[in-house]
Structure 1
Amino acid sequence: MPVTKSYVAKSVEAMRPSGIRKFFDLAAGMEGVISLGVGEPDFVTSWSAREAAILSLERGFTSYTANAGLLELREEIVSYIHNRFDVTYDATEEVIVTVGASQAIDLAMRAILDPGDEVVVVEPCFVSYVPMVELAGGKAVTVGTRGEEQFKLQPEALKEAITSKTKALLLCSPNNPTGAQLDKEDLKAIAAIVEEHDLIVVADEIYAELAYDIPHTSFASLDGMRERTILINGFSKGFAMTGWRLGFVCAPPELTAAMLKIHQYAMMCASTPAQYAALEALKSGMSDVEEMKKDYRRRRNYIVQSFNEIGLDCLMPGGAFYVFPSIQSTGYTSDQFAELLLKEEQVAVVPGSVFGKGGEGFVRCSYASSMEQLQEAVRRIDRFVNK
């Protein structure tokens, strides 16, 4: 008897494929493409971290770790978070090692949301945020930010988005895709609203190490916010370890216990060799992080100046490794600009529209490429814009 109905969940059927992947797939079939679309470092994981993973395999460390991760790694994470961001956690009860920061966000959403609970999501935002809220049964309520305000969340806009059903705020600083960084005063204003409305904050701080002009302030470090924060971080961006798929989440015990239950059933534990690599990266890799950051700062300054000279208005981002230039002066939509640029000049960028309504009229360009590639990409974009 033939199948006469769809067995796919309606929530998944309604979900749009990643707009970023669409342009990666288009670029993959073309020769000579310079990609400014990829959201990962062009640096290689430090040798000491790679060697630690190799050594762990040679020593036969190929079994499961504890569900929450190697205790030694969790202790090193606690030390790292305390030394870098002035927040203290208990390694035995308040830290979980996850399969990337994305899994940590997914765990957080599934642990805190009941059907119909609302989560305020700040746009433009990483493409996974809204789907992760919806897959957990929640409702994403988006709040836009504007270039005129440096893409920073405005307190009044946050207040307007909060209802009796609001349970959480999902916040990313430095931001993907805009590179916007919230300073301590910005965060204090948000924290006051969070406390007033008794919310929890899922703070995605995966780009914390890539803050160029002012030090990163962790939301959990603010007065009264540690108990209201699920702190998300990891090794992909700051430590150039995207393919290792290793992140972590820090939160009060009640929340980590809930997340750990889901993690036990869904994932068991993160990769053992990757955990040994991360342990070594924390112990000896900070000098590599600083060198990488220094190079990114140089590239950031170059590409921002170049885009503004071309005639594409571009703010100086405070962190991450993205710029978010306006392409409104060209008369194209974000999708049109990205498709024509790829077709005519073989440069891949990501249309801002995939990051939410507020991203229309912009494109995301990653400067995690060599300076030579950035210079050639700028020449091609200049030619395209000024035809």
Structure 2
Amino acid sequence: MNHKEYLSRHVQEIKPSGIRKFFDLANEMEGVISLGVGEPDFDTPWHIREAAIYSIESGKTFYTANQGLLELRKEICRYQKRRFHLDYDPIKNVVVTCGGSEAIDIALRAVVDPGDEVILLQPCYVAYEPGVQLAGAIPKFIELKEENHFKLTAAELEAAITDKTKAMLINFPSNPTGGMMNYDDYKELVPIIKKHNLIVISDEIYAELSYDDAFCSPANFPEIKDQVIVISGFSKAFAMTGWRLGYLCAHEVFAMAMNKIHQYIIMSAPSAAQYGAIEGLRHGDQHVAEMKEAYRQRRNYIVKGFNRIGLPTHMPEGAFYIFPCIKPTGLTSDEFCEELLKEQKVACVPGTAFGQAGEGYIRVSYAYSIEEIRAALARIEIFMKKYQKEKA
């Protein structure tokens, strides 16, 4: 039996994650400094862990409602109102999911049919294109440009829309570029989104990590709010990656359709994680602010360091990544990362892991201590001096 012949065509066509390749290589070597993982290096705040532990000790270990604990959904709505000025109903508009990744998956499956086009903004998170393909839709790419600080322009959006375009999946602040869209940027897009009845799936997992507090959601525009599916979660801002807890907020018709998929594939998100999240939303603002300030300091330090050693990078406005240009070395993104790992034992992610628009760049995470970043920069500087000397 040739087992490959029985695999789904969609699955066969999906490429392995470009991020995993370099993680696997790094794990085989000793003494590697990794700047590749998009995960907070902070422990989940103790009061969140304590609430989850207490829920288990109290015997609250059963399935919750498919949409999630009503108490949690109410806190999510209060949080969205308090932090981002968005009004949602906890019964009609919110579904708690197993991470933001599940929310994106069920959003795509709920709104697209085979043959529909979904606009993706490259460079983009590695899971977006496979997610569109697994939903049976066709990815349509817009290449964001560094000179525009990796923002989407109205002209680029209008040019990408066809009679088959159904939705657009966006992520600001962005993984991998750290790019941001502010109110004025979105204002230019709103008439286009409205005119074409475009569904916007907005991945806002890094919303709290907006360093100038200029975060804006496309859902903040009343004229298109019902066309926007907001995706968020607790992994990044609350340092809860391993808890696998996210959520979505959307118009009732969309939310209930997504909950229908969710109830069949997941049933409900883990109960202990939900109790921990309730505590985080109620009493976690100070910890979120402290972690954000630490990231800001790391961002400033690492951007200065990369620009100094000859790998120019713009100042990211959000998330915890920089996206340096490695074109001065004459190497491809993959070659640069492979050589840097082999010669100096520093792991970064090639820009091409996030689509072909990422060629000539690398993604570097600064979710690491200043000490680790300093040590990595010293090794990268040695690596760069070698190439600068060879070119001379």
The TM-score with structure 1 as length reference comes to 0.99
CA distance in 2, matches of 1:383, 1:327: 15
CA distance in 2, matches of 1:143, 1:81: 29
Q: Output one character per residue of 1:52-105: Cα deviation in whole Å (capped at 9) or x when no partner.
A: 010000001110000000000000000000010001000011100000001000
CA distance in 1, matches of 2:109, 2:214: 31
**SS, match of residue 148 in structure 1:** helix
CA distance in 1, matches of 2:129, 2:315: 26
For 1:80-99, what aligned pairs fall within 5 Å after superposition? 80-99=79-98
**SS, match of residue 120 in structure 2:** strand
C-alpha spacing 1:197/1:179, structure 2 compared with 1 (3 Å): same
Q: What is aligned with 2:20?
A: 21
Shift of 1:336: 0.2
CA distance in 2, matches of 1:192, 1:48: 44
Q: What is aligned with 1:224?
A: 223
CA distance in 2, matches of 1:153, 1:343: 36
Q: What is aligned with 1:351?
A: 350
Q: Output one character per residue of 1:171-225: Cα deviation in whole Å (capped at 9) or x when no partner.
A: 1100000000111111111222101111110000000000002321121111312
Q: Output one character per residue of 1:331-387: Cα deviation in whole Å (capped at 9) or x when no partner.
A: 000000000100110100000011011100000000000000000000000110111
CA distance in 1, matches of 2:286, 2:3: 60
CA distance in 2, matches of 1:108, 1:172: 14
* Structure 2 gap segments, 5+ residues each: 387-392
Q: What is aligned with 2:378?
A: 379
Q: What is aligned with 1:8?
A: 7
Q: What is aligned with 1:334?
A: 333
The TM-score with structure 2 as length reference comes to 0.97
For 1:114-193, what aligned pairs fall within 5 Å after superposition? 114-193=113-192
Instruction: Say how many residue pairs are matched.
Output: 386
C-alpha spacing 1:198/1:314, structure 2 compared with 1 (3 Å): same
**SS, match of residue 237 in structure 1:** coil
AA at the equivalent of 1:279: I
* Structure 1 gap segments, 5+ residues each: none
**SS, match of residue 340 in structure 1:** helix
User: Aligned Cα RMSD in Å?
Assistant: 0.9
AA at the equivalent of 1:58: E
CA distance in 2, matches of 1:4, 1:26: 28
Q: What is aligned with 1:73?
A: 72
AA at the equivalent of 1:216: F
Pairing 1:310–2:309 present: yes
CA distance in 1, matches of 2:253, 2:103: 16
CA distance in 2, matches of 1:367, 1:153: 24
AA at the equivalent of 1:90: D
**SS, match of residue 248 in structure 2:** strand
CA distance in 2, matches of 1:166, 1:30: 45
Pairing 1:275–2:261 present: no
C-alpha spacing 1:51/1:5, structure 2 compared with 1 (3 Å): closer
CA distance in 2, matches of 1:245, 1:166: 31
CA distance in 2, matches of 1:246, 1:214: 24
Q: What is aligned with 1:61?
A: 60
Q: What is aligned with 1:197?
A: 196
CA distance in 1, matches of 2:384, 2:342: 13
Q: What is aligned with 1:214?
A: 213
Which runs of 4 or more aligned residues in structure 1 lie more than 4 Å from their structure 2 counterparts after TM superposition? 2-5
CA distance in 1, matches of 2:179, 2:2: 49
AA at the equivalent of 1:260: N
Pairing 1:370–2:369 present: yes
**SS, match of residue 318 in structure 2:** coil
CA distance in 2, matches of 1:72, 1:245: 18
Q: Output one character per residue of 1:257-296: Cα deviation in whole Å (capped at 9) or x when no partner.
A: 1001100100000000000011100011110000000010
**SS, match of residue 343 in structure 2:** helix
CA distance in 2, matches of 1:75, 1:200: 25
**SS, match of residue 338 in structure 2:** helix
Q: What is aligned with 1:252?
A: 251
Q: What is aligned with 1:297?
A: 296
CA distance in 2, matches of 1:189, 1:71: 36
AA at the equivalent of 2:212: D
CA distance in 2, matches of 1:351, 1:281: 34
Shift of 1:10: 1.1
CA distance in 1, matches of 2:216, 2:149: 17
Shift of 1:5: 6.5
Shift of 1:4: 7.4
